[in-house]
Amino acid sequence: MKLNYSTLAFSIAAVLLGSGRSFAQEGYAPMGSPYPAGAPAPYNPVGMPPAGMQPGYAPQAMMGAPGPMGPMAGPGPMMGAPDPYAYMAAANANGQTNPGMQYGGPVDGSMYEPAGDYVQYENVAGGACDDGCALPPRAYGSFDTLVVWRHGGNYPAILTTSDPADEGILGAATTRVLFGDGYESGDASLGGRITIGLWLDDYQNWSVGGRFLALEDDGANYNTGSNSFTTLAFPFFNTNTGLQDSVVVALPGTGTNAADNTTIALNNENNLYMGDVFVTKHIHTNHGNRWDFVTGYSYAKFEDSFAINAQFTNQDTGSTLSVGDVVAYRDSFAATNEFHGGQLGLIAEFQDGPFSWRAMGKISLGGMKQEATISGSTTINGVLSDNQGIYARSTNSGSFSRDQFAYIPEATVDMIYAYNCNLDFKLGANFVYFSDVSTAATLINPNIDPSVVNPTDPQFSFIEQDFWVVGLTFGMEYHY
């Protein structure tokens, strides 16, 4: 697949337009408090008005800035407790509250007083937490369990069956493909994600942190043999004759290519690791809703491998082999992709009592180093011959590498419940896309010159393929 520049342009434009719109709006602190700037503004975890508060005063949600999201999304501290509310004084440009500020907001009827950063306020004894919860938490962390599905490998036709006369050759009337000829993918798999972060001020304007994600091994595996199919073959295009051909490993009788006692194992495995170091900056608050900008360094590593193991007993009486010789083929294709780059994005949080919704969109831009290793062998009665497998032959075996520009957009939505002052539970969905990776499937070239002396094919080449992961997250966040 060629690099999708329209997808890249759209992703960058969405992030930059969102950032520009948010930076263009002046930030607002939560609803004004009756306390002057610098005076105590108590946090009340149970939703009760502080001493002296007029009845009917409705506190607004005190928003905490979330940390970066995505397949490795981290938590942002939220004010916890059954009702995570705080009373804060909104400061004007001179650091003072509006002299006309009343319990419901300024006397002019507006609900919010323009402010830059939150003004300082002090702890007040009491409440559900030991320190009264007057100040937001400074440290945060989370652990998430992920259930994910991955984009499968785009394989050529690898294994076929047919009536004996057609010998599994593609295009023959009875031939059908058992593995390949499209995308092959495994089942849902599990993963884990850890995030830690620290706010650099008491008002959750700046934070730094890191996160790491690992997914368990996944892949598409297929096992069969002559007990299931009397005819089995590995199809290829013969570049000498210009016709479809096959390597037959199971065929009844004693004629040409006859073989039995066949076992075949096709094994694909892939691993994904991701991590980053991030910085977040609060850019806008409005009616208990918060926007933050995120940037930092991103790392990702994707490994993919595919192996063919086939063994049979020769029954061809006219072959150069003796009847009863045991032949084993092995092919190995391995690809490694390592990404280093920078990221930028937006995080939005919308709070309603103990529940909140958090959404993230970001894109990472950088370089993807791709490495490929191909090897093949044939063993006859225990005697090994290297560089002569089925699709891995002397002309394409070896190690190869290249550097590519790549981009990785991410999107995440989480629903969060504040269980108490320090602990939140969350349920979410996330998606991550890689614009260009090398996979084991793309390393297999079915165009083969079967000549014994000086063969010219298959040739090696990198082929671009995109890759994505989509899944659900179940996790908890802790703030201190």
Amino acid at 339: F
Domain segments of the chain as ranges: 5-30+137-479
Tell me the pLDDT tens digit for each residue of 359-407: 999 999 999 999 999 999 999 999 998 888 999 999 999 999 999 999 9
Which pair of structure tokens corresponds to residue 476? Answer: 């908890």
Q: Is the model's pLDDT at 216 over the cut of 70?
A: yes
Determine the average pLDDT of the residues in 211-226.
91
Which SS3 state, helix, strand or coil, does residue 241 take? coil
| Mean pLDDT (whole number) for 25-42 | 33
Query: Which pair of structure tokens corresponds to residue 191?
Result: 């993963």
Query: Rounded mean pLDDT of 49-66?
Result: 40
Within 13 Å, how many C-alpha atoms sit on residue 318's CB side? 6
Q: Specify burial of residue 478 (Cβ count, 10 A radius: 0-12, 13-18, 19+).
A: middle
Encoding tokens for residue 103? 């319990």
The span from the CA of 480 to the CA of 478, in Å, is: 7
Mention every residue, 6+ apart, whose C-beta is less than 8 A from residue 12.
363
Q: Cα separation of 32 and 87, whole Å?
A: 8
d(CA 282, CA 280): 7
pLDDT at 96 over 80: no
Q: How distant, in Å, are the alpha carbons of 266, 268, 356, 410, 442 from that of 304? A: 14, 7, 38, 21, 11
Q: For residue 137, which of 195, 71, 75 has the smallest C-alpha distance?
A: 75
Residues 249, 251, 252: CA angle, nearest 5 degrees:
150
In DSSP terms, which residues pair with 343 in a beta bridge?
Answer: 296, 364
SS3 390: coil
Say if CB 28 and CB 113 are below 8 A apart: yes
| Architecture of the CATH domain 5-30+137-479 | Beta Barrel (2.40)
CB half-sphere exposure, 175, CA atoms < 13 A: 23
pLDDT at 312 over 90: yes
Q: What Cα–Cα distance (Å) separates residue 215 from each residue in 190, 302, 418, 472? A: 6, 10, 27, 13
Residue range 439-471, pLDDT digits in tens: 999 999 999 999 988 999 999 999 988 999 999
Please list the residues that pair with 145 across neighbouring strands.
192, 474
On whether the CB atoms of residues 261 and 313 are closer than 8 A, the answer is: yes
Q: What pairs with residue 155 in β-bridges?
A: 182
Q: Structure tokens of 413?
A: 């939505």
Q: What is the pLDDT of residue 86?
A: 37
The residues that bridge with 248 in the sheet, in sequence order, are: 233
Residue 425 near residue 476 (C-beta atoms within 8 A): yes
Nearest alpha carbon to residue 359 among 431, 296, 423, 286:
431
What residues contact residue 151 under an 8 Å CB cut-off, 6+ apart? 183, 185, 466, 467, 468, 469
Share of the chain above pLDDT 90, in %: 60
Q: What is the reported pLDDT for 27?
A: 31
Assign 122 a pLDDT band (cuts: 50, 70, 90).
Answer: very low
Q: Does the pLDDT at position 36 exceed 90?
A: no
Report the relative pairing of strands 232-238 and 447-448 from DSSP bridges.
parallel
